[in-house]
Amino acid sequence: MSLDTPIAQPATAAAAPVRPAPGLSRLAQALLPVLYQHRLVATSQLHALFTPHARRPVYLRQQLARLRADGLVDATTRRTSRRGRAELLWYITAHGADAVAHDPTIPRRGYRISPQTAASQLQEHTLTVVETGVAFIDWSRRLGHECSPLDWEPEVAHRIRDGEARGVDDASMIPDAVLRYTHTTESGRRRMLSFFIEVDRATMQTTRLAAKLTAYARYQSYIPHAGGRGRRSTREAWRDHYPAFPRLLIVLTGASDRVLANRVQDLRALATTDPRVSQLTAGVTTLQLLQDKGPFAPIMTPLSGDPAPTDVFLAPTGGSRA
pTM attached to this predicted model: 0.87
What Rg value do the Cα atoms of the chain yield, rounded?
20
Beta strand pairing call for 190-200 and 247-252 = parallel
pLDDT at 216: 96
Domain extents for the chain?
13-118, 123-302
Q: In sequence order, which residues have a C-beta less than 8 Å from that of residue 308 and are 6 or more positions away?
A: 298, 302, 317
Q: Provide the Cα torsion 122, 124, 130, 135; round to 10°.
A: -160
- Look at residue 162 in the predicted model and tell me its pLDDT: 54
- Bridge partners of residue 248, in order along the sequence: 196, 282
Q: What residues of the chain score a pLDDT lower than 50?
A: 1-3, 6-20, 164-169, 318-320, 322
**pLDDT in the model for residue 317:** 52
Q: What pLDDT score was predicted for residue 196?
A: 98
Q: What is the pLDDT of residue 22?
A: 66
CATH class belonging to 13-118: mainly alpha
**Can you give the pLDDT at residue 81?**
65
Phi (first) and psi of residue 72, to 5 degrees = -90, -30
Spatial CA neighbour of 50 closest among 145, 172, 134? 134
